[in-house]
Amino acid sequence: MDLRSVIKTVPDFPAEGVMYKDVTSILENSKAFEYSVESLMKFCTGRRITDIVSPDARGFLWGSPVAFLMGVPLHMVRKPNKLPPPVKSQSYDYEYASGVLEMKADAPLNANSSVCIIDDVNATGGTALAITDLLKTFGVQDMCYASVIDLAFLGGSSKLDMDTFSVVTYE
């Protein structure tokens, strides 16, 4: 399936000059959504993944079904004050601003965990790098990254020192 024909481009959103790739168009097409989930799951299956980690909020839409189908835990990474304490926090910069991400401090992750970070879009890599830093505080060393869309022209995937995968790449 060619997801490029499904993904809508919205000009000048969220700022003038940006050609926004709208993942909601994938969610509105059950075959496209199924294809994207299956593609992400295939990437994970060959890597003996023990845990899926996905960021707030659209990452949950793809991380959840992959974790469910693989029979592994899903760990949520959220914006501040969305998870009950205790939490671990990490500041980061992304395309249009900066922010803070949090994970449950008691998440059962450690040096034996093999984690795939799953998100909807990889742009500048800021979110992925912040999650990587959070996972390192748990002792996790074996990580890979998968996204539905990679905006490779923004350089985010080249900043990640791990195996990466995207269902669709825009050069």
Residue of 122, 148, 145, 123 lying closest to 32 (CA atoms): 148
How many angstroms from the chain centroid is the CA of residue 64? 11
Q: What are phi and psi of 94, to 5 degrees?
A: -135, -170
Longest Cα–Cα distance of the chain, Å, equals 45
Q: Is 95 a catalytic residue?
A: yes
- Among 38, 58, 102, 171, which one carries the catalytic annotation? 58
How many C-beta neighbours within 10 Å does residue 138 have?
Answer: 19
Residues shown for the chain: 171
How many C-beta neighbours within 10 Å does residue 66 have?
Answer: 26
HSE (CB half, 13 Å, CA atoms) of 121?
17
Q: Is 78 a catalytic residue?
A: no
Residue of 122, 84, 123 lying closest to 103 (CA atoms): 84
Active site residues: 58, 95
